[in-house]
Amino acid sequence: MMKAPCLRYQGEFLGMFFAKEDALIVKLSPERVLEIIEKGLGREFSFTKKRFKEWVLIPTEFEELFESYLMEALDYAKLNGEKT
């Protein structure tokens, strides 16, 4: 994705480190993304001026939370995989 290594579960994107923004990107529910942004723990991810409602940037200042966000992204991917 974006010519960078990323983590996937059964082909679904989970997360990656986005060096350009010095942040982790994770895929979560749109509601969870908004919650993280409202708490000031992340930023909206917009690529090519398009907002990705399920993706959130977690700056390296919150690096201690990276593992928990990646596990949350894995749970979200598993849940979405069951729906299809």
Q: Are 42 and 36 in contact (CB under 8 A)?
A: yes
Nearest 10 degrees: Cα torsion 55, 44, 18, 2: 60
pLDDT in tens, 35-67: 999 999 999 988 777 888 999 999 999 999 999
pTM summary value: 0.87
Q: How many CA atoms lie within 13 A of 46 on its CB side?
A: 5
- pLDDT-based confidence at 1, cuts 50/70/90? low
Q: What mean pLDDT value characterizes the chain? A: 90
Which pLDDT score is estimated for 17? 93
Which pLDDT score is estimated for 2? 57
Q: Positive or negative, the Cα torsion across 15, 73, 65, 35? A: positive
Which pLDDT score is estimated for 73? 96
Helix and strand numbers, DSSP H then E, in the chain: 2, 5
Which carries the bigger pLDDT value, residue 49 or residue 69?
69
End-to-end CA separation in angstroms for the chain = 22
- 3-class secondary-structure state, position 42: coil
Q: Percent of the chain beyond pLDDT 90?
A: 68
